[in-house]
Structure 1
C-alpha cells in the first residue's frame, strides 16, 4: 500500500477516534510532525481538489468596463475584465 493510501486511511480512523493528533499518532507509532504534515496536506487537498480554490463574490455590482491584470510572484497571470474589490482582495491574499 502506498503512503498516501495509508495516511488517508489513518486520517479517517483519526477523525472517528476522538483523540488528539499527538495521542493518536503515538498510538500508531508515527511521529507527530509526520502525522500533522499529512493531516494538513490531505485537508487542503480535500478543500480544494485539483489545486484550485473556489472564490465567490459577495459584492452585488462589480465595476464594469475595467480591465486589470494580477501577476503572482510564481508567474501566474490573472486577467480580469471587471473589478470586484472584494474578489481582487481575496485573489491577492490567495497567494
Structure 2
C-alpha cells in the first residue's frame, strides 16, 4: 500500500478513535510528527480540493487594466492593480 493511502486510512481511524494524536500514533508505531504532518496535510486538501482557489474576474475595464482582490479566511483583504500571475500565486500560498 502506498504511503498516502496508508496515511489516509490511518487518519480516518484516528478521527473515530477518540484518542489524542500522540496516543494514536504511538499505538500504531508511527512517529507523532509524521502522523501530525499527514493529518494537517489531508485536512488542508479536504478544505481546498485540488489545491486551487477560485479567482473571479468582475467588471472588465475598457482600458484592459486588471484589478484583483484576495480575501483571506482571517478577513485580510488585498486589493492589487495590474496583478501578475506569479504575484497572485505567491500571495495565495502565503496563507
TM-score, normalised with respect to structure 1: 0.63
Higher relative contact order (CA 8 A, sep 6+): 1
Distance 1:54 1:18, change over 3 A: farther
Number of residue-to-residue matches in the alignment? 76
What 5-or-longer segments of structure 2 have no aligned partner?
Answer: 68-80
What 5-or-longer segments of structure 1 have no aligned partner?
Answer: 56-61, 79-91
Q: What is the aligned-residue RMSD (CA, Å)?
A: 3.0
Structure 2 CA distance, aligned partners of 1:52 and 1:19?
32
Counterpart contact for 1:69–1:77, Cα < 8 Å: no
State the match for 1:15 in structure 2: 15
Counterpart contact for 1:71–1:77, Cα < 8 Å: yes
Distance 1:5 1:93, change over 3 A: closer
TM-score, normalised with respect to structure 2: 0.63
Deviations 1:10-69 (A, max 9, x none): 0000000010000000000000000000001111111101111358xxxxxx99957422
User: SS of the counterpart of 2:83?
Assistant: strand
